[in-house]
Chain A
Amino acid sequence: MGWFKRSPWVLHYNATSCNGCDIEFIASLTPLYDLERFGIINTGNPKHADILAVTGSVNDKSRQILLNLYEQMPNPKVVVAIGLCAISGCVFQDCYNVLGGVDKVLPVDVYVPGCAARPESIIDGILKACEILDDKDRQRRKSG
């Protein structure tokens, strides 16, 4: 049974986002979209999380924090890059302090495009991530 598909807990980290995607991410928790109907919980603790949702491009300051959060999450885990900045750095990619998208630091599994990403696409992206989570769980079991 795909238990991960039914109960994905999300950790949200804002790596230099302009708050646009953050607000849309939080909006998907509101009664209109209600993420919890899929069993999704927005947790604040990396040790409880299955999915790391990152908004905004990565710079030198947020790089280490992002790595710390990722390493504290127990396996299996997936990373979702939300919004154009998290995908590529968007208009900030040439800034002197910006490293680029999240995939410069972490292995990203799902990219959710949009500026800002809409709650519908964020939910869709996280549900895609759930399937990857289940695959990773299966592989982990196979390899023992």
Chain B
Amino acid sequence: MKGFHLMFMSWGMFERALVFVLLAPMLGGLLAGIDRKLSARCQGRYGPPVMQPFYDVFKLFRKERIIVNKFQNFTILLFLAFTVFSGTLFFIGADLLLTIFGLALAGTFFVLAGFCVGSPFSHLGAEREIIQIAAYEPMVILMAVGMYQVTGSFKVADIAQHQVPLILYLPGVFAGFLYILTIKLRKSPFDLSMSHHAHQEIVRGLITEFSGPALAMIEIAHWYETIVILGMVYLFFGFNPVLALVMVTATYLLEIFIDMNYARFRWQLTFGSSWLVTTVVGASNIIVLGLMK
């Protein structure tokens, strides 16, 4: 494990970017498959094959392309492009803030995609997506600020190689990040705009008008996003790569567990609770850290 970590660190920028662009969707899709299987087992079902997300995406690429206006697929392409872009920045060890704002920009294009079609369901989904972005974004930025306070750098490479355990200095920030992670991974109780379940309901509103290849691109972008977000969890435990990977896995399993055990919240509760958690555990952690220095 250590050897693999050192090998990754010894690679140049270009190799790391290539590895991310090629491997992230495979890993993300596999995680999605494991998620679906585990979710099914939690509900007492047999569940689909682990490779099911890949089958879905390959099928979607073979479907007919139906668009309602010419901007529709363009915005989805930008959503995918900026997700890959910010993920690449993250994994080559560039600026953490730039990664976060790249992801936010990708999210904005996704919202635009929802608004640019005529369906009222899609508009409702896009509005819910905006609420979700507003709910999780402060905590993500606080995470970057907290990491800067401990390591003195916004560079992902420096943070990942920092030998002091970040988690000991940022327990509150990590707790807050775990809370909004549920929104980012589109898990219940916060899956208001693009749920993995409930395919007949308004919680699938945002992707109402997207079919075939566009829907496949949304799915792939979500895989990339999952890997980037789990990469951020890794940073908290960067001092020990083995422990970090264990914690990343544990976090993902915890999210599946939460997903299975909660009914969906209303948007008011989603928004209010995530800002409350951000302020109480996130901001206070950063203030205490500031006073300690």
Show the binding face of A for B, using Cβ within 8 Å: 1, 3-4, 6-7, 31, 34, 36-39, 41-45, 47-48, 50, 72, 74-76, 137
Contacts and interface: CB of A to CB of B under 8 A. Distances in A.
Given A36-B47, A74-B64, A75-B64, A47 B208 contact: yes
Interface string B42-67: 01111111001001101100111110
Chain A interface, >50% SS class:
mixed
Contacts of B208: 45, 47
Contacts of B64: 74-76
Interface string B201-224: 100100111111001000000000
A7 B47 contact: no
B45 A37 contact: yes
Interface of B: 36, 40, 43-49, 52, 55-56, 58-59, 62-66, 199-201, 204, 207-212, 215
A38 B73 CA distance: 29
A107 to B, nearest CB: 16
Given A37-B46, A74-B212, A3 B59 contact: yes
Contacts of A45: 199, 204, 207-208
Contacts of A48: 199, 207, 211, 215
Given A3-B58, A6-B59, A7-B56, A37 B48 contact: yes
Given A3-B58, A36-B47, A76-B63, 6 more contacts: A37-B47, A43-B200, A45-B208, A48-B199, A50-B59, A50-B63
A39 B52 contact: yes
A42 B200 contact: yes
